[in-house]
Every structure is written in structure tokens, then in C-alpha cells.
Amino acid sequence: RAAYLGAANLAGYLAGALFGRSLASKTSTRFTLRAMMLLASIAFFACAWPVSFAWFFAWRFLSGVAGGALMVLAAPTVLAHVPPSRRGLAGGLIFMGVGVGIAASGTLVPMLLQQGLEQTWLGLGLISLALTLLAWWGWPTAEAPVATTTHHRHAAPSGTLKALYVEYALNAAGWVPHMIFLVDFVARGLGQGLQTGAQYWVLFGIGATVGPLLAGLLADRIGFGRALRVSFIIEAICVAVPAFGLGSVWLMISSVIVGAFVTGTVPLVLGRVHEILAHHPARQTSAWQTATVGFALFQAVAAYGLSFLFSYSGGNYSLLFLIGTSAMLLAFVIDVVAVVQRSTPEHLLK
């Protein structure tokens, strides 16, 4: 049944990503963001009471809806009010929260579980509600300034944008071996036990916490396009590390760096969307929505597909990490080809 609840959360996330902009257009972006944060908080409290499986299913679905809508709406809403030269740093700060959540799952949640499952849900609900209240008045009260009409004289680079969608989706697939199998690999594959495996997950979460900020600072210096290509290569190397049995030190480095890029790539892709559609600001939010939906779909397909392959191969961990590496390398190749096809040496420097 846990798998069905996970599927409900994913289905809700996809629904939220697909219809978040429609909800905002019917009311306002600020109202929708507030409502989704409240919904996520209420979902935690609701899960503290085990009414029935259908009850859990419904609330995990609604929690996913909130998450998907927030992912689509929050960052573009804030970044539209940030100067382009500071969007890397701003995007990094926004998505640090995802990393904090991952780190908390390996530290705070086990502590809460010692008090009981009901107390854990209530504790998470209180934390979520406190963060909702903290952010309540922070959302922009007005839409970002509308771009001048001269911007629309430029043709939208649809080929480069479509390539970015595929790259982001491939990244989602490439992270799956670490996100789903890292703890099991350490615990059972290396025979070090679940406690040691959990320690690697905490390292993964620490990387995920600082990753967005570091990636954003890098993008502000060298541009989102170049930063994204650098990230693909580093990710490919680090995802491959567990497949070669290089020892604990390298595995720890791999855990931290992959964790950093799991969250750090998000502001890079969002910033790249803004770069590509700099002359078409009205399309930026819908493009980010498309990228988010593709990301979620590929991550789900990869999770189920690699789980099946793992069972079919008799527990071959190395195969999973090598497939993840291949996805990262393919994303790099697609990005380079898209940039070369689009342009001149001037574009290659972006």
C-alpha cells in the first residue's frame, strides 16, 4: 500500500504542475501560493489520524497537488522581480528549501518517529504551518513589469527550449540511482547496515541544502547555459562512482555532490529558461511548467523502470549507476548539439 500512496503523491504533483497556472489565473498567484502552502500543512495534520486507506490516499494526493503547484509558481513569481544579474543567487536561495527537506528526512524525521507516528505527522504539520506563516506576507503583491513589445520581434528559440526539456528529464532519470538505491546499496550491497546507509543519505541531504546556492552563484558568474553543461559532466562522474567500488571516501564525495546537483540543477534550468526566452517573458512560466511536468514523469518512469531492472538483474547495483551516468552524458551531448545548431561562436560563450 505504501507504493500506492507514493503513486498518489506523484499523481497529485503532476496535477499541481499541470493546473497550477490555471488556478492562479482564476484568482491570483499570491492567493494560490498561500492556499497551496496551507493545503500542504493541513495534509500533514490530516495524516496524523489513520481514518482509512482512502483518507491517506486523498491527502497524499492533495499534498502532491500543493507541491506541484508551488514548484511551478513560486520561483518564477519571485525571480520575475529580481534583476537578471542576481537571479542565480536568488534561485539558489529559493530551492535551498528542497535540500533542507531532504536533510531533515534523515535527521528530524527519525527523531520525531521516536515519539510515535502520530506525533511525527503533527510535528511536520506544525513546522509546515510555521513556514507558511513566515512566508505569508513575503509573496509579491503585484505582477512583474511587462516587457516592451519590441521583445516580441525576436523568434522564440524553440529547438533549444525543447532540448532543455529533454535534458532536464534525463537528469531526473540520472539521479534516481542515488535517490532511491543509495541507502540500500550501502546497507545491503556493501553490507554496512541501514544505520550507515542513513548516514550517507544525510550527506546527500547536506549537499542538497547548499547545492542550489552554489549553483546559483556559479550561474551568476558564467551564465546559466555554461553552468548547466559543467553540472552535467560533474554529475555524470559522481553518479558513476558507486559502480566502480572506489571506497568510502569517494562514495561520500559522490553522495554530497549528487545531492548538491539534485537541487542545484533546478535553479540552473529555471535560469536557462529565462535566458532562452529573454525576449518572450510571457512564455517563461509556461515553459517552466512544461519542464517540471517532464521532470516528474521521467523521474517516475525511471524509478519504476530501474526498480524492475534491479530485480530482473538479480540486484546489480552497478548497472543502475551506469545507466544514470549515461543519462547525464546524453543530456550534455544534447545541450551541446542544440547550442551548436542554434548558432554562432557568440552563442557558444553563453
Q: What pLDDT does residue 166 have? A: 95
Q: Alpha-carbon distance 304 to 251, whole Å?
A: 24
Q: Within 13 Å of residue 54, how many CA atoms lie on the same side as its CB?
A: 0
Q: What percent of the chain has pLDDT over 70?
A: 89
83-127 pLDDT per residue, tens: 777 777 777 777 777 767 766 766 677 778 788 888 888 988 898
Lowest-confidence region among 5-9, 178-182, 346-350: 346-350
Q: What pLDDT does residue 151 have? A: 46
CB 63, CB 12: distance < 8 Å = yes
287-335 pLDDT per residue, tens: 888 888 888 888 878 888 888 898 888 889 999 999 999 999 999 999 9
pLDDT at residue 256 tops 90: yes
Q: Alpha-carbon distance 205 to 208, whole Å?
A: 5
- What is the pLDDT of the chain when averaged over all its residues? 83
Q: What pLDDT does residue 46 have? A: 92
3-state SS of the chain: helix, strand, coil percent to 5? 85, 0, 15
Q: Which grid coordinates belong to 42?
A: 493541513
Q: What pLDDT does residue 84 have? A: 73
Confidence of residue 183 (pLDDT cuts 50, 70, 90): confident
CB 215, CB 340: distance < 8 Å = no
204-237 pLDDT per residue, tens: 888 988 888 888 889 888 989 999 999 999 999 9
- Rg of the chain over all Cα atoms, to the nearest angstrom: 20
- Sequence-separated (6 or more) residues with CB below 8 Å from residue 165: 290, 291, 294
Q: What pLDDT does residue 105 have? A: 66
Q: Alpha-carbon distance 75 to 53, whole Å?
A: 33
Q: What pLDDT does residue 149 have? A: 41
Task: State residue 233 phi and psi, 5-degree precision.
Answer: -65, -45
Q: Alpha-carbon distance 135 to 69, whole Å?
A: 16
The dihedral of CA 97, 78, 233, 296: what is its sign? positive
SS3 for 186? helix
Q: What pLDDT does residue 241 have? A: 94
158-170 pLDDT per residue, tens: 788 999 999 999 9
User: Which stretches within 114-247 are classed as H helix?
Assistant: 117-135, 158-184, 193-222, 224-240
Q: Alpha-carbon distance 213 to 95, whole Å?
A: 8
Q: Alpha-carbon distance 173 to 252, whole Å?
A: 21
Q: Alpha-carbon distance 67 to 134, whole Å?
A: 18
Tell me, letter by letter, the H, E, C secondary structure of 274-325.
HHHCCCCHHHHHHHHHHHHHHHHHHHHHHHHHHHHHHHHCCCCHHHHHHHHH
